[in-house]
Structure 1
């Protein structure tokens, strides 16, 4: 009976260690190969969304902001802060390597695996990130 419990305990410890290894390997990283996008939380204030756009397009100089800043481009419409901020935040997220923390934006960003593209507007996805 003691031999059974010793063997059971050994296997239980081994199983626990394997679980920790699996969970650790699924932690935050650059998640290469995963289709992930960053969008703005719909409940975010317009002021915070406009700050995010300014941060990405002016302060960081991330390329691609013209896709939603010119009314002749398909991503301009709908002309709303949440739409434009989502595009800006995703440009930043993709450019910086798709790390989860690059979509925080003071807790105004969400990560989605569903491409948020619509109509003729395609959200950036950096395959080399």
Structure 2
């Protein structure tokens, strides 16, 4: 089950990058449904904030090794502005229980808490800013 979750997460990241290159960067709005376990969640590519600018999220690059992901989690979660309880046991984003999923949530919480600037999603080159909502089931990534 965990391998399927990691594979689905990596597919989402790849699809986000591909869509950015082909659709989102041209300003088109495309609805896409992605299978995420027992429930489905409709994702809107190129969603916009109240100001009209595209919504963005920070996630871990798929190529990032486990040690760096853990380091990113530790760095993000040490700040009181970042509530990492969602990736702790019992938290709404604890499952799937894997480093890419947990690091992406922590990195996005940090990115949002500190201003959503590109440098707030660098993490030594292991962060990736996307425009497709990575939320799934009850695990909602704040935009």
Q: Does 1:124 align with 2:132?
A: no
**Structure 2 unmatched ranges of 5 or more:** 1-50
CA distance in 1 between counterparts of 2:110 and 2:82 reads 9
Correspondence for 2:10: none
**Aligned to 1:37, which of 57, 62, 65?**
57
TM-score scaled by length of structure 1:
0.67
Matched residue of 2:128: which SS? Answer: strand
**Aligned to 1:98, which of 109, 116, 133?**
116
Correspondence for 2:46: none
* Change in CA separation of 1:53 and 1:32 when aligned onto 2, cut-off 3 Å: farther
**Structure 1 unmatched ranges of 5 or more:** 1-30
TM-score scaled by length of structure 2:
0.61
**Conserved in 2, the CA contact under 8 Å of 1:89 and 1:103?**
yes
**Conserved in 2, the CA contact under 8 Å of 1:69 and 1:76?**
yes
Structure 2 counterparts to residues 16-55 of structure 1, below 5 A: 33-55=53-75
* Change in CA separation of 1:81 and 1:32 when aligned onto 2, cut-off 3 Å: farther
**Conserved in 2, the CA contact under 8 Å of 1:53 and 1:89?**
yes
CA radius of gyration, larger in:
1
Correspondence for 2:24: none
Higher-strand-fraction structure: 2
**Conserved in 2, the CA contact under 8 Å of 1:56 and 1:62?**
no
How many angstroms does 1:118 deviate by?
A: 0.3
Matched residue of 2:59: which SS? Answer: strand
RMSD: 1.6
The alignment of Structure 1 onto Structure 2 pairs a total of residues equal to 93
